[in-house]
Chain A
Amino acid sequence: MMTKRIIPCLDVKEGRVVKGIQFVELRDAGDPVELARVYDEQGADELVFLDISASVEGRKTMVDVVQAVASELAIPFTVGGGINALDDMKRILRAGADKVSLNTAAVNNPDLINEGAAFFGSQCIVIAIDAKYDDSIGTWRVYTHGGRTPTDRTVIDWAKEAVERGAGEILLTSMDEDGSKQGFDIALTKAVGEAVSVPIIASGGAGGAEHFLDVFTEAKADAALAASIFHYKETGVGEVKQFLRNAEVNVR
């Protein structure tokens, strides 16, 4: 039986982790490698690094970060942000990342998914979707540019197309729940999970261990991602896993 995966997400800007992560035992809370190691020790199953650098220089630094993390850690990790072309994917994957995540670039140029999957295999290509419910169309709408730009695509159709084009996994963020700490978006996660045959990583809304249980049992997510509750030590990866184990959810 596969285990459900718990994935901390780290925002990296110009090679440094941002969002004031609170680990007192750390010498340098901005060092991506040191934080990655802490999460590995806590039992994280995978990590996601989101490059939010605005500059070309920052983007180059990300390759060094990827190399350093890959040298130090023996768990899989995904890198997203700033990946706009096959060459960007090559740079990041050859530096040692296991997967790349595409968001806006894939919506603007869906062929990028086909190219990446053909070159590296579907298992390397994660499609990140920012979803927001839209009453006027009665379903979820895809947003790009970090949630700032609405598109004319619905989440369900886009997820299906992305998978047909070769996406190996969907990282699904609920903009409605993101930051709410009220729990993952069960309806959204369930709907997308039923529409496609690849693993779904639920994201947005985690406020406590019980929310992970809900998204795994009710929405059948394969993995769940969270940032702030882990960074601010509201709960630990180990605690979430223990809670899940007690509820008879299969975790590592």
Chain B
Amino acid sequence: MIGIIDYGMGNLFSVSKALERIGIPYIISESPEELNNTKGVILPGVGAFKDAMARLREKELDQFIHQYVDSGRPLLGICLGMQLLFEESEENGQFQGLGLLKGRIIRIPDRDADGGRLKVPHMGWNKLHFHQEAPVLEGIEDGYVYFVHSYYADGVGEQALLASAEYGVHVPAVVGQGNVSGMQFHPEKSSATGMQLLTNFAKAMERSEDML
């Protein structure tokens, strides 16, 4: 059973439908008690970093997430949910994140290295470049995935960078360290490749269960 953390930010419908299609049971909940009965959790999210962190704190889900990760069970952040895993963000100010991964969230520059104009948000299908092997990337060959975001993670440690996409800057696309992982794009909207990534996360969940 996967828990989808419902804190009022994001399209839970798409994520839950994607899990149904690949046959993974899930619950959607904002209750730490309920979510604690799962073997892995997904932190989705669309919207602003500041609001998202405020809502997590309000519902004491920030503490829950830390305890959950300490218990060794896997956590997957998607889009804004991935950004929240980092130390801080400069979106509309300076705000602290969950601090589970090293790095900060900054705005995608509107010019590339050659001065060419870049459209922000980074919206559409972009290719994944793989940096290291990881269980979550198993079986991913044709790596096009669907992105919609205006901020990205900067200063991600080499060990945690699993895959990136090129958009003027190197955009960390899949990050992971221990049982914490994140995807900047929307696997639930990324056709067969996205379904494979979610399946891989579910498999990682089963494996971690064996280890616990």
| Chain A residues near B (Cβ < 8 Å) | 1-3, 5, 40, 45, 70-72, 74-76, 93-96, 98, 121-123, 168-169, 197-199, 222-223, 252
Contact = CB atoms under 8 A, between A and B. Distances in A.
A121 B52 CA distance: 14
Contacts of B110: 197
Nearest to B124: A2
B123 A168 contact: yes
B167 interface: yes
A3 B145 CA distance: 10
B21 A199 contact: no
A76 B146 contact: yes
Contacts, number: 74
B120 A197 contact: yes
B88 interface: no
Given A45-B125, A168-B123, A3 B13 contact: no
B156 interface: no
Contact of A40 (B119, B186, B191): B191
Interface in B72-113: 110
A2 B18 contact: no
Nearest to A98: B189
B17 A96 contact: yes
Contacts of A123: 46, 121, 123, 148
Given A1-B166, A198-B119, A199-B119, A74 B190 contact: yes
Nearest to A223: B124
Q: How large is the interface on B (under 10, 10 to 19, 20 to 34, 35 or more residues)?
A: 20 to 34
A211 B179 CA distance: 48
A250 B13 CA distance: 31
B34 interface: no
10 contacts: A5-B124, A74-B188, A74-B191, A76-B146, A95-B13, A96-B14, A98-B14, A123-B46, A222-B124, A223-B124
B124 A45 contact: yes
A231 B148 CA distance: 28
B117 interface: yes
Nearest to B122: A2
A67 to B, nearest CB: 8
B194 interface: yes
Contacts of B188: 74
A76 B189 contact: yes
Given A3-B126, A70-B14, A252-B125, A75 B189 contact: yes
